[in-house]
Amino acid sequence: MTNILIPNVLILGGTTEANALAKTFAEQGIAAVYSYAGRVDNPRPQPLPVRVGGYGGSEGLADYIRDNAITHVVDATHPFAAQMSRNAIEACRATQTPLAALTRAAWAPQSGDNWNHVPDIAAAVEALSCDARRVFLAVGRMHLEDFAAQPQHIYLLRLVDDPDSLPLPNAEVVVARGPFTEADDCALMQRHGTQLVVSKNAGGSGARAKLDAARVLGLPVLMIDRPVLPQRTELTTVAQVLDWLSHP
């Protein structure tokens, strides 16, 4: 008699894909817990039990997996959440827990796009070593300090929460969370007089509006390539995750 493993899934969340997966799990009665880092004040509610906060490195995650009888881990974090993804690989190896990433393909330029690729945030900062421009710095809050090295630009920042302070002297803040639309991003960039867009290569649909708007407005994009991650099972649809769950 083979023992049937009834899934008890940990979703490492924080993305559009994670939210779609959580909705399906809830609809199908698959036991799962949705995990946020606790980066923003009011994370989107989920139709699953939610836990918020770090685990204390890969060892802490391994302890959480053991203590909560987690049977599978789906890493549906953002492609730039590289530390979380590395910890998930390590913790699942240590606990022999099946792991799959639910991720999204990187964006590729299409005709009409004017992209300059840089490998990481530091290279993006370096690439801004030029005369003052009006820059839509659409990379969030966590790395704004890095861009303080280029204070000459007139920045447009889009943040999820109102910031207490800013490391940039000339910055206008728009408080908004995606998913965004091309029309709204066109209007936003025209109002700001944007001359350059800085973007992470997040992939997916939630953040690509600014790229479509840049193409329409004929603006250059400084595209930050995503970090390289160790090998792991990578899936791109909820259906693939359901199939993987039945035989990981």
The residues of the shown chain that bind ligand NAP, judged by CB under 6 A, are 12-15, 35-37, 39, 54-57, 60-61, 77-78, 80-84, 87, 140, 200
Residue 67: partners with Cβ closer than 8 Å, 6 or more residues away: none
Q: Are 13 and 26 in contact, with CB atoms under 8 Å apart?
A: no
Provide the 3-class DSSP secondary structure of residue 224.
strand
Chosen residue from 34, 36, 107, 155 binding ligand 3Y8 by CB under 6 A: 36
Q: Among 210, 204, 240, which residue's Cα sits nearest to residue 222?
A: 210
Q: Which does 84 bind (CB under 5 to 8 A by kind): ligand 3Y8, ligand NAP, none?
A: ligand NAP
In the chain, the amino acid numbered 19 is N
Residue 43 found at the interface with ligand 3Y8 (CB under 6 A): yes
Q: How many residues can be counted in the chain?
A: 248
Distance of CA 89 to the CA centre of its chain: 18
Cβ neighbours for 247, distance < 8 A, ≥ 6 positions apart: none
- Which is nearer to ligand NAP, 12 or 92 (by Cβ)? 12
Give min distance, CB of 112 to ligand NAP, in A.
Answer: 26
Quick one: 7 or 140, whose CB is closer to ligand NAP? 140
Q: Give the nearer residue to ligand NAP in terms of CB position, either 125 or 154.
A: 125
Question: Considering the complex, what minimum distance in angstroms separates the CB of residue 44 from ligand NAP?
Answer: 11
Per rule CB under 6 A, is residue 106 in the interface with ligand 3Y8?
no
Who contacts 46 (Cβ-Cβ below 8 Å, separation ≥6)?
13, 19, 22, 34
Residues that bind ligand 3Y8 (CB under 6 A): 14-16, 19, 36-40, 43-44, 78, 138-143, 158-161, 177-180, 200, 202, 204, 206-207, 210
